[in-house]
Amino acid sequence: MILITGGAGFIGGNFVHHWFERCARLSLPEEPVVVFDKLTYAGNPHTIGEHLQAGRATLVQADIADREAVRQALATHRPRAILHFAAESHVDRSIHGPGEFIHTNMVGTFSLLEEARAYWNSLEGADKEGFRFLHVSTDEVYGSLSDTDPAFSETTPYAPNSPYSASKAGSDHLVRAYHHTYGFPTLTTNCSNNYGPYHFPEKLIPLMILNALDGKPLPVYGDGLNIRDWLYVRDHCEAICQVLEKGRLGETYNVGGINEIKNIDVVTTICRKLDALRPRADGQPYESLITYVKDRPGHDRRYAIDPTKIQSEIGWKPAETFESGINKTVQWFLDHTDWIDTVRSGAYRDWLDQNYAERA
Ligand code: NAD
Ligand code: DAU
């Protein structure tokens, strides 16, 4: 079996779905998963409910920084691989309160590495040889690009600009050091912005969809011309499966969607999709809700991934265009009001008040 930290979050939860669908599609044995997740505000067991109920997935609710809990989970479930998704992931939250980011992304990753290394050392023969620790990271560790800079490659120097990206950079360096120093069998992926089903509605795309449907302002930071390289989440999940199978130990692989789009264009695209699928009762276009608000401090201008290495070495490339992926995403949010209700907790409403009141 495999152990997935953060498997009740956005990408980890999609990965659990992808894993079982892929096993079926490729006629592979259905390999069970253990989801190790603290269930913070961003973790939602409903996301993977069908797999938990079917017994294919098991949930261990614990903190990756709790070494005893990690030790116990590894000893009980004896995974052949650890896929490390768990993190504090929202840049704006890291600006308001960086402490949790240091705790989970750096101290938590260190604790997990220590326990995973001890577990790996206890293995023998083919079990030890085949063990993998795959660390899921971000393109934000490379900093910000100008409009004319080449896209980030695996050799771009690290230059993180937010407490979030600095804490992810720290975790990447630890993973690298554990391979270099101890020979621990690591793989690292650095990915661009994901979007798709189960995306927590604090992030740009789901926030815009849900605010629009509620008739609320669509808050665009600064001039709206920042660029992100959007990747449909299932394409990312497939990349992780392939890196797990074929990646070279100690290597990092950049994963991107080849979809550089300005924020304002993302928002207007969503508005037009909703105009067609769910027109407003007052006949106004959703674009009339767009409101420019105070910028994010230290806002990175542009991210872009050069995916040459993963394409040539692993053979992965994204299946979705932004057009096909955003169509699926908007439709998913229209169809899954039950899931949306489960994440709109009191804690989420408090966050919206805190983040957007001060930008007015
Ligand atoms: P998310 O915030 O949706 O989910 C994070 C999950 O981790 C949640 O289920 C949460 O409960 C869990 N978690 C948080 N702290 C924990 C702790 N101390 N112990 C155990 N579990 C804990 O995040 P996401 O968007 O799914 O991102 C997953 C990973 O992918 C992160 O490492 C993130 O840095 C990376 N990443 C995300 C994106 C993106 O666009 N979302 C892009 C590139 C990389
Ligand atoms: O690049 C990968 C990263 O992508 C991941 O490592 C992070 O975990 C993930 O959260 C994401 O970070 P971003 O900061 O790029 O994503 P976010 O959805 O928060 O913002 C996307 C862009 O939209 C960014 O330029 C800020 C802008 N934005 C965001 C929000 C929430 C707005 O204009 N208005 C908003 O209300």
In this predicted model, what pLDDT tens digit does every residue of 289-325 receive, in sequence order? 999 999 999 999 999 999 999 999 999 999 999 999 9
Q: What is the identity of the amino acid at 240? A: I
Residue whose Cα lies nearest atom 3 of ligand 2: it is 193
Q: What is the pLDDT of residue 356?
A: 87
- Confidence class for position 106, pLDDT limits 50, 70, 90: very high
Query: 266 lies in a domain?
Result: no
pLDDT tens track for 19-52: 999 999 999 999 999 999 999 999 999 999 999 9
Query: 102 lies in a domain?
Result: yes
Residue whose Cα lies nearest atom 25 of ligand 2: it is 226
Q: Is the pLDDT of residue 146 over 70?
A: yes
Q: What is the pLDDT of residue 245?
A: 98
Q: How far is the centre of ligand 2, averaged over its atoms, from the C-alpha of 5 (Å)?
A: 22
Looking from the CA of residue 14, the nearest atom of ligand 1 is: 26
Residue-range definition of the domain harbouring residue 43: 2-198+230-258+302-319
Q: How many of the other CB atoms lie within 10 Å of CB of 353?
A: 9
Query: 19 lies in a domain?
Result: yes
Q: Is the pLDDT of residue 360 over 80?
A: no
Q: How far is the centre of ligand 2, averaged over its atoms, from the C-alpha of 29 (Å)?
A: 37
Mutation probe of ligand 2 site: the residue of 221, 259, 358 with most atoms within 8 A of C-beta: 221
Q: What is the pTM assigned to this prediction?
A: 0.98
Query: 217 lies in a domain?
Result: no
Contacts of 346 (CB under 8 A, 6+ apart): none
Residues with CB under 6 A from ligand 2: 89-91, 138-140, 192-193, 203-204, 207, 219-221, 226, 228, 263, 296, 303
Q: How far apart are CA 109 and CA 167, in angstroms?
A: 10
What CATH number should be reported for the domain holding residue 63? 3.40.50.720
Q: What are phi and psi of 315, to 5 degrees?
A: 90, 15
Length of the chain: 360
Alpha helices in 10-108 (DSSP H): 10-25, 49-54, 67-77, 91-96, 99-101
Q: What are phi and psi of 314, to 5 degrees?
A: -105, -30
11 lines ligand 1 (CB under 6 A): yes
Q: How far apart are CA 325 and CA 193, in angstroms?
A: 13
Query: 209 lies in a domain?
Result: no
Kindly list the catalytic residues. Answer: 139-140, 164
- Confidence class for position 355, pLDDT limits 50, 70, 90: confident
* Residue bearing the bigger pLDDT, 106 or 257: 106
Query: 234 lies in a domain?
Result: yes
Query: 39 lies in a domain?
Result: yes
Helix (H, G, I), strand (E, B) or coil at 34: strand
Q: What is the identity of the amino acid at 63? A: D
Candidates 102, 117, 226; CA nearest to 169 is 102
- Confidence class for position 136, pLDDT limits 50, 70, 90: very high
- Supply 138's token pair: 């971000």
Packing angle of the helix pair 322-335, 204-213 (nearest 10 deg) = 50
Q: What is the pLDDT of residue 36?
A: 98
Q: How far apart are CA 192 and CA 52, in angstroms?
A: 29
Q: What is the pLDDT of residue 292?
A: 98
Q: How many domains does the chain have?
A: 1
Query: 222 lies in a domain?
Result: no
Q: What is the identity of the amino acid at 4? A: I
